[in-house]
A = this chain, B = another copy of it.
Amino acid sequence: MTGARSAEIRVSEIFGPTIQGEGVLIGLPTVFVRTGGCDFRCSWCDSLHAVDSRYRDEWRAMSTEEVWREIAKLSGEEPVMVSLSGGNPAIQPLGDLIRRGHGEGYRFALETQGSVARDWFADLDVLVLSPKPPSSGMETDWDAFDACLRMSRDKPRTVLKIVVFDEADYAYAKTAAARYRQLPVYLQPGNHTPPPADDDEASIDIEGLMDRMRWLVGRVTEDKWFGAHVLPQLHVLLWGNKRGV
């Protein structure tokens, strides 16, 4: 029984296809599998409904086959990019799902803070490592982060994505980028206004977001950091913090 349970994936939500709103795959139609549970508690987490155990009654324990069937149904059985996010999806058993989907021509991107390494990272098509800057209130364990890179064995397309709210975050991003010169960098202005998970209509400070975006573009160009991409969360601009889009 323990064996069977351990293969279950804790799922907060599966939705899409809609476009990826951020980072290296921005604009690409994607089905999202958001897993439940996280080893971090970032102060500005925009997906608390997939993190905070207050919401765990909403999470479903699903088998690989159940998750796969939902992806196949949402995509009309047409191969699509699947984004595995959370929470921290690295704490879920996703290796079988990736192999299952690959067999049907689907591709898989994983987004994780880089705190937990899995051997199935090497099976991913895209690995987005998103270390958390000082404003999150979290500390980065660079040894754990290095282990994630080792596990990926240079197989997926791997990028750094770092949320930046302020100068301290920006300095952290520069340090992280210097540490991993081989990885393309995506900087993302922080979203200060995550709504409660049960309130789709909570207002977003779009002007504040755009101000931080303009500030960050200025910061990067002043510094001649010409390898860093600066991208907002497009889905927030299009749909606010609404879930399921």
Residues of A within 8 A of B (CB): 16-19, 26-29, 75-76, 78-81, 186, 210, 213-214, 217, 220-221, 224-226, 228-232, 234, 237-239
B79 touches A29 (CB 8 A): no
Are A26 and B26 CB-contacts (below 8 A) given A221-B17, A224-B76, A226-B75? yes
Please report the C-alpha to C-alpha distance between residue A149 and residue B17 in the assembled complex, in whole angstroms: 32
Are A230 and B19 CB-contacts (below 8 A) given A29-B220, A237-B210? yes
Please report the C-alpha to C-alpha distance between residue A21 and residue B31 in the assembled complex, in whole angstroms: 25
A27 touches B229 (CB 8 A): yes
Q: Tell me, rounded to whole Å, the shortest Cβ–Cβ distance linking A206 to chain B.
A: 10
The 3 closest A-B pairs by CB, nearest first: A27-B229, A27-B231, A78-B224
User: Which residues of the other chain, B, contact A75 by a CB distance below 8 angstroms?
Assistant: 224, 226
User: Which residues of the other chain, B, contact A27 by a CB distance below 8 angstroms?
Assistant: 26, 186, 229-231
Please report the C-alpha to C-alpha distance between residue A210 and residue B228 in the assembled complex, in whole angstroms: 26
Q: Tell me, rounded to whole Å, the shortest Cβ–Cβ distance linking A117 to chain B.
A: 28
Q: Which residue of B lies closest to A184 (CB)?
A: B28
A238 touches B220 (CB 8 A): no
- Please list 28 pairs of residues, one from A and one from B, whose beta carbons are closer than 8 Å in the complex, sorted by A's number: A16-B221, A17-B221, A17-B224, A17-B226, A18-B217, A19-B220, A19-B221, A19-B230, A26-B26, A26-B229, A26-B231, A27-B230, A27-B231, A28-B229, A29-B217, A29-B220, A29-B221, A29-B230, A75-B226, A76-B224, A78-B224, A80-B224, A80-B226, A81-B226, A210-B238, A213-B238, A214-B239, A232-B234
Contact pick for A225, options B18, B29, B186, B224, CB 8 Å: B29
Please report the C-alpha to C-alpha distance between residue A225 and residue B217 in the assembled complex, in whole angstroms: 32
A214 touches B229 (CB 8 A): no
Please report the C-alpha to C-alpha distance between residue A231 and residue B24 in the assembled complex, in whole angstroms: 12
A29 touches B226 (CB 8 A): yes
Please report the C-alpha to C-alpha distance between residue A225 and residue B234 in the assembled complex, in whole angstroms: 19
Please report the C-alpha to C-alpha distance between residue A186 and residue B26 in the assembled complex, in whole angstroms: 11
Please report the C-alpha to C-alpha distance between residue A232 and residue B19 in the assembled complex, in whole angstroms: 12
**Known contacts A76-B224, A80-B226, A210-B237; can you find 18 more A-B pairs with CB under 8 A?**
A16-B221, A17-B226, A18-B217, A18-B221, A19-B217, A26-B231, A28-B226, A28-B229, A29-B221, A29-B230, A75-B224, A75-B226, A78-B226, A210-B238, A214-B238, A214-B239, A231-B234, A237-B237
